[in-house]
Structure formats: structure tokens, C-alpha cells
Amino acid sequence: MEVKTRFAPSPTGFLHVGGARTALFSWLYAKHCKGQFVLRIEDTDRERSTQEAIDAIIDSMKWLELNWDEGPYYQTKRFDRYREVIDKLLAEGKAYKCYCTKERVDALREEQKAKGLKQRYDGHCRDDHSEHSPDEPYVIRFRNPDDGVVAFDDMVKGHIEVKNSELDDLIIQRSDGTPTYNFCVVVDDWDMGITHVIRGDDHVNNTPRQINIYKALGAPVPVFCHLAMILGDDGAKLSKRHGAVSVMQYREDGFLPEALLNYLVRLGWSHGDQEVFSVEEMINLFTLDAITKSASGFNTKKLEWLNAHYMKSLPAQTVAKELVWHLNRIGVTDLSLGPDPELVVKNYCERTHTLKEMAQKALCYYQEITEYDPAGVKKWMKEGSVDVLKDALATLSALSSWDAQSIDAQLEIIAKNREIGMGKVGQPLRIAVTGSAMSPGIGDTMMLVGRERTLKRIEKAIEHFGA
């Protein structure tokens, strides 16, 4: 049997951390088993589903490179199929039309609540043979078995049993003719040949209802794996108030997809004490029996540590592709005005923690300086600093080879001749050529800025600070 998993988000919001972990685990298990991974958009909630959310989900999946083998499928494009199956259930007596008004159902629930009973539909229309006018509204309910239990072995939670007497007759088609989530999911999984359903444990209560529908359809019941929730840094359920919980927000904040994937895989799964995993290692090692039952705690500091690790350890070319995205976001559209982004990565990967930070620091290489950092100016632009800039301008103008080693050698001669430390040479020059006293080695910095721009910026600084 070929393993086939799916990720089936509802597009009522952006893809958040919990959903991304579900997608990752489903993807990894399919890849580990050399199976298939399906992307399905469950957009039956027409009021809350938006195209913006659909686009954000797909963009997030592409950024994380969780590439799907089939899809994306859209439930709203499968309504004819759902109606076909519902008609079959009606014909077989496994579903029925319910004419109960909302007022009757609400009153029933209030009565049950007052008596301390479980609030559930009472089956009033199950065997109702009264006449109804053609225009009288109705819903269609699934006829849930009266006796017995629904039992399944969850790959994380173990054996679960629920008495059928505790389940009511689920609405599978609304009064407007649209099918409902719990029904569509079953038909989709059946039609798409899904063998393993990996999802959040907020769906556990839906599973017994869905299993009964699978059985009524004569469809194979997939293996279920319900993942424990993710908690925030403070121990509470992860939510928007914890900050960047949207996947694309992490991209905007400067995290690499490799870092986020590595972090997500450790939220509820482990392989010994190993913390850092390449995607290839994740695929090779991932198994469902290694998923933990307990909730996972989100630790932002650990994610930041992983991001710094990947910024330094990944090939500069890989990191540079993401850096370009950040440069574009802050207005750098013509990369020919500055150095190759790979050079920026090599010089800043040890000095920054996020790509957003790296892009901000690299802005001076692609755009002209409009101001000088006041704190740096106050600390380093002292008496004699302008004379140092003049010496540097004269020396560097005559330099035949524009590389970091040659530049550093000439600046060391200036420091020696003036009998001052390199800091009193390098720091005023950093301010002159980048606007800030923070940058890589001064030779590397000038190499990144380029010969012509470096000399022009030193001339400008002499004019500005010498006035």
C-alpha cells in the first residue's frame, strides 16, 4: 500500500505555526515512506474563506518548500461530487431530511442544558413521514448508528473509544444546499486515497463521527495521528498575542525557511538529543511513533539560535536568495548598484541574527548615505579625524588593487605614521563610507562599497565634518 497524506487547511486566516507543523509532519511522513503528499483547501465556509488567505497558505508552503504531489484541490469545486454521495446516502436510508427549525433546535438545547444533559439533536425527523411543502427549508443529517462504539487506534494518543449513543445525527448538508466540513473531509479522503490523516488534536472529537461516515460509505478508514497543541513561551496555548505566529511573518522578520522547519520538527518529535536536522535527515529519520503525546512549548530564543546557525552554515548562495527578498522589501530593486549579495552574506553572517537585520545593515552598499549615526559620530569623530580621512583618501586613491588585504595594509601604515591605534583610523572611515561605526572589517567594508563610491563618500565626509 502506498502511503498518502494530506494537508487540508481552511482558508479563514493565514497559515500559522500549528498548521505549518501539521503540514511538515504530513509531508515528512509521505516522503519517508516514498509516498504522496496532497494539498487540499477546505473552503466550504464561504463567509470566512478568502482568496487572500488561500494565497498566503500557498505562498507559505512554497517558501517552506513543502511541495505537494497533488493539488491544490478546492472543496468548493467538488460540490457535485458531495451531492452525488449525499443522494446515495439518502437512497440507502443512511441520511435523512430534517425540517426542524432553528428555534426548535435552540429550545431543545436549552432544555437539555437546564436538565444537565448533553446537548444533542434528538432525532425528531429520523422517521418523520409527515408531508412538507416543496419550499420548506431542511437540512440533511447523517443517520448515526444507535448502538455500539466507535474505536480507533491513534498513532499518538493510543486506543480511543466513543459510544455511538453519545453522538447525534450530524448535519451533512445545510439548508442552503452546501455540504458541511465533516462530511466533505470524509469524501475527499476517500476519493483521494488518503491512508494517514495527521492533524491537530482539536480534531479528535470529529474523528468518531467521521469514522461512522467512512463505514457508511464503504470507504477504508485511514490511520489517524492527532498532534498535541503548541504552547507559547508563557505556557498558554499559542495565539496571536504571542507575536509572530503567521509563517510569512517569520519570513518578514528575517528567519530562514530551513531554521523554521528545523524548529517546527522538534515541536513534538525527537531523535535522541539531536537538535539540528537537515531536511534530508528529517525525511530519513521521521516516524509517527516518535511523536510525543505531550504539548510542546514554543521557544523564540531557540528559533533565533537556529536561525543564526543556518545563516552561518548554509551556502552563501542559499542565504543570499532570501537576503535579496529582504533588500527588495526595503527599496533595493537594482542590485547592480552594490556588491553581489553573496559577499554581503559572507561578511555579515557572523554579525547579524536575522536577514531583516542583515538587509538593513547592507542598505548602505546599495543606496547613498543620507545621514550619519549620531552616537558613532560623537564617539569617533574627534579632533584629527578629518585629517585621518584626508590621508586615507590620498592613499586609497593611489591604490592599484582594490581588495580587503591591500586596503587594510595601507590603513595600518596611516595608523603607524600617525602613531595612533587602528580604531582611530578604521572607525572614522566606517562612519564615512557606511554612515555607521558598525560594519565588518574596514577593508571588507570598503571592498563591498566599491572603489569609486568609497572615495566619493570619504570626500563627502571630509566636507561634512571639516566644515
Residues that are catalytic: 240
Residue type at 293 in one-letter notation? K
Q: Which three cell numbers stand for residue 431?
A: 562612519
Residue type at 60 in one-letter notation? S
Looking up cell 587602528 gives 422
Q: What single DSSP character describes residue 222?
A: P
Q: What whole-number distance in Å separates Cα of residue 285 and Cα of residue 278?
A: 11
Q: Which residues contact 71 (CB under 8 A, 6 or more apart)?
A: 38, 39, 40, 41
Q: Which three cell numbers stand for residue 116?
A: 444537565
The strand pair at 4-7 and 36-41 is best described as parallel
Q: What whole-number distance in Å separates Cα of residue 83 and Cα of residue 179?
A: 8
Q: Residues 59, 27: contact at Cβ < 8 Å?
A: no
- Coil/strand/helix, residue 147: coil
Q: Residues 429, 389: contact at Cβ < 8 Å?
A: yes
Q: Which three cell numbers stand for residue 446?
A: 570598503
List the beta bridge partners of residue 246: 16
- Coil/strand/helix, residue 34: coil
Q: What whole-number distance in Å separates Cα of residue 16 and Cα of residue 264?
A: 11
Q: What single DSSP character describes residue 435?
A: S
Alpha helices in 117-198 (DSSP H): 181-191
Q: Which residues contact 281 (CB under 8 A, 6 or more apart)?
A: none
Alpha helices in 331-403 (DSSP H): 341-348, 355-366, 374-380, 385-397
* Number of residues in the chain: 467
Q: Which residues contact 99 (CB under 8 A, 6 or more apart)?
A: 125, 128, 132, 136, 137, 138
Of the candidates 154, 182, 158, 197, the one whose C-alpha atom is nearest the C-alpha of residue 3 is 197
What region, left, alpha or beta, does residue 442 occupy, with left being phi > 0 and alpha being psi -120 to 50 degrees? alpha
